[in-house]
Homo-oligomer: A and B are copies of this chain.
Amino acid sequence: MNSSSDIQVHNPVHLALDAYKAAVHAKDVAAFAALYDTNVRVFDLWGTWRYEGLAAWREMAQGWFGSLGSERVVVEFDEVVATVTPELAVGHAFVTYRAVDSEGAELRALNNRLTLVLQRREGGWKIVHEHTSGPVDHETAKVMLKR
């Protein structure tokens, strides 16, 4: 168990968000997958009710990064709330995903809401649950992706 000041310095939520950002920008499937627990359950914004287990989630990342061509995705987190206890940590935040071209110019951007749950494992903290979404307009049933 870490002391509380040690927990502050090595906040697993902020470390995970930074590593997520870096892995997505680098389109590095291995670095991305390393953030997650083998038994992760993800409720992702797009297309499917859940990803169950790391293999399915890694496949999603492979498809996502592979579809980008020469584009990159710059991720930004706002209003992060992190709660860290010795065994379990939770973070929630607003996310901006910005697609940029090979020169770094913005092509488009969208917002999500993100919840992350991490558990302390032998090899460090791992994401055991992730939930991303946008709010849905009641009239049209369409998702809103701009805050």
Contacts and interface: CB of A to CB of B under 8 A. Distances in A.
Interface in A33-84: 41, 43-50, 81, 83
- Give the contact-size bracket for chain A: 35 or more
Report how many copies the assembly holds. Answer: 2
B83 A49 contact: no
Q: Is the interface of A mostly helix, strand, loop or mixed?
A: strand
Interface stretch (A8-16, A101-109, A138-146): A138-146
A142 B50 CA distance: 17
B83 A136 contact: no
Interface of A: 41, 43-50, 81, 83, 85-90, 92, 94, 111, 113, 115, 117, 119, 128-129, 131-138, 140-145, 147
